[in-house]
Structure 1
Amino acid sequence: MEYTQQMKNRIKRIEGQLRGILKMMEEGKDCREIVTQMSAARNGLDRTIGVVVSANLEKCVRDQIEKGEDTKHLVEEAVQLLVKSR
């Protein structure tokens, strides 16, 4: 699978959030502020997982259809990946 620049940018944004959280911890910031930022980073990662899985699913389904093969197992696998990620 080819990962798009958009996907990579999402990960870079999350990386920046994590660095910011670490800096906040080192500065002794309030727990609520840190947890809020941690939640934002987790939500960003969850969304990114969805983008990656859906892009991969789309590509795999197109490939299977071109080959005249069944795609049901691909959808089931994608759902399992999403469930497992939580």
Structure 2
Amino acid sequence: MEYPKSIQNRIKRVGGQVEGVKKMIVQGESGDKVMTQLQASISSLESLKTELIKQQMKESMVEDVKKSLGL
């Protein structure tokens, strides 16, 4: 499966957010700040998951249409 650039960009963004959480923990940031950033990372992962599901559904529908048309 080939993923669109938008999904590739989202995964990079999520990775950056997780790295930010890691850095905050290493630097001893307050728990509140870490939890806020962690929640943002979780929300980004959920959004990424939704986009991946949409992409898979779209590709599945295209394949079904092609099969039904004999393509």
Verify same fold: TM over 0.5: yes
Which residue does 1:49 correspond to in 2? 49
Which residue does 1:35 correspond to in 2? 35
| Aligned-residue offset at 1:63 | 1.1
The aligned length equals 68
Segments of 5+ residues of structure 2 without an aligned counterpart are none
Normalising by structure 2, we get a TM-score of: 0.88
Segments of 5+ residues of structure 1 without an aligned counterpart are 69-86
Normalising by structure 1, we get a TM-score of: 0.74
Distance 1:63 1:44 in 2: 29
Which residue does 2:24 correspond to in 1? 24
Question: How many percent of aligned residue pairs carry the same amino acid?
Answer: 28
Which residue does 1:5 correspond to in 2? 5
Moved over 6 A (4+): none
Structure with greater contact order relative to length (CA < 8 Å, sep ≥ 6): 2
Distance 2:10 2:23 in 1: 20
| Aligned-residue offset at 1:62 | 1.7
Which residue does 1:67 correspond to in 2? 67
Distance 2:4 2:65 in 1: 23
Give the secondary structure class of the aligned counterpart of 2:49: helix
| Aligned-residue offset at 1:40 | 0.4
Residue 66 of structure 1 aligns with an amino acid whose one-letter code is K
Give the secondary structure class of the aligned counterpart of 1:28: coil
